Amino acid sequence: MAVSLLLALALLSATAPFATDMYLPTLPAVGADFNAPDSVVQLTLSGFFVGMALGQLMVGPISDVIGRRRLLIGGAIVALVASAIAALSPSIAIFVAARFLQGLGGGACVVLSRAMVPDLLSGREAAKTYSMLMAILAIAPAVAPIVGGLLAEPIGWRGIYWVLTGLHAVQLLVVLVIIPETGGNSPAGESFVRRVLTNYATVLKSPRFWGFLTAMAFAFASMFCYIAASSFVFQHEFGLSPRAYAAVFALNALGMCVGSFINSRYIDKLGTKTMVLGGLSLSVVGNVLLLVLVFSGAGVGWLMLALLLCISPNGVIMGNSTAMATGLMRERAGSVTAIMGFGQSVLAAAVGPLMGLGGNTAMTMSVGMTVCIAISATGLLAATRGFDAD
């Protein structure tokens, strides 16, 4: 795959997560400007997640029938216009609606960037690309609030939305200039609606697909347990400064990037199945170690080491699971990635409140991460039994 196309897919994968979380530091300011209660302001997050989930579910299977590019252009335009409306919103109701539309367009771009990979690549090459895209998708939601925090004071929440508008404009330009048409395989004489429903039904009937979906989505959920609770754990429970916490977070983000690099470096030699099972084994060891350390009251340094073992393999697990799932039905890659993206979004939206209900403690975080990775392991072992990924 050309470097320009790879970077374009990376941008399409990262823009929606940035739009999700970049404005989080300004939520109190949004409520103050609109004189809205916190519960209503939180709808700006929920609305985006609902839009993103629906965007993936609607656009993915349609792209299997009519192709990816025109839908990518449409999704990028919707996200661009919605971001500008959000920046100009005169009321909280319009702002929530704009966030929903932004999620709808962003979800389309995310699912189509994934669906294009098996159109252009197969086997181990697809797994390499997915590993990189999943690392970006996992890191972006955590980096975005840091960027938003730096911008919040000088330009405010409306300024942040103008920055996002610019980012969506770049996204649209990239689609127009770099992204080729791929996908689209509707047989002559078969109705559009029937083809879309057939694609969904075929994917959902595959037990192996459900295994890969479980592996990918719960590995992502495990990492979101960490993202949701880690700032409270390290700053409140262990007394780290915001700058020290940022360094810890950066270390784990770097670990994920290194994991994805190792995956792309050795997958040709060892194979997709071996790499994903190896990554899963390392993550399971890390999570069990983390749980033991938390129960024993170990110091923060040991917890950081265990977390590095937990987080670093996630790009390998998620990327290779997605590659193997789309490899099952390459002609239905849009439907496959739509369902996987929907499951990922739902779990990511659920684990944050669950961490909060548990008090955002080290114990809550470690238990949540371990439970999620155990479910991920169960799904992956079931899916890869007797399966030749290459």
Please report which confidence band the pLDDT of residue 381 belongs to, taking 50, 70 and 90 as the band edges.
very high
pLDDT of the residue at 117: 81
Q: At what angle do helices 43-66 and 92-120 cross, to 10 degrees?
A: 30
| pTM, 2 dp | 0.78
* Predicted local confidence at residue 100, as pLDDT: 93
State how far the Cα of 375 lies from the Cα of 215, in Å rounded to an integer: 7
If one counts every other C-beta atom within 10 angstroms of the C-beta of residue 11, the result is 19
Contact between residue 314 and residue 138 where contact means Cβ atoms under 8 Å apart: yes
Residue 238 DSSP code: S
Average pLDDT over residues 109-115: 85
Domain residues of the chain, as ranges? Answer: 3-384
Alpha helices in the chain (DSSP H): 3-21, 27-34, 38-41, 43-66, 69-88, 92-120, 123-177, 192-204, 207-232, 242-270, 272-295, 300-311, 314-328, 333-357, 362-384
Average pLDDT, the chain: 84
Q: What is the pLDDT of residues 284-318, one digit of tens each?
A: 999 999 999 999 988 888 999 999 999 989 888 88
Is the distance from CB of 184 to CB of 65 less than 8 angstroms? Answer: yes
What pLDDT is recorded for position 228?
Answer: 76
Q: Which of 133-147, 210-224, 236-250 tops mean pLDDT? A: 210-224
pLDDT of residue 268: 79
Span 2-57, pLDDT tens digits: 677 778 888 888 888 788 778 777 777 888 889 888 778 777 877 887 888 888 88
CA distance 141 to 116: 22
- Class of 3-384 in CATH: mainly alpha
- Between the CA atoms of 230, 234, 236 and 238, what dihedral angle is there, to the nearest 10 degrees? 150
Q: Distance between CA 389 and CA 321 in Å, rounded?
A: 10
Instruction: Considering only the C-alpha atoms of the chain, give the largest distance between any 2 of them, rounded to a whole number of Å.
Output: 66
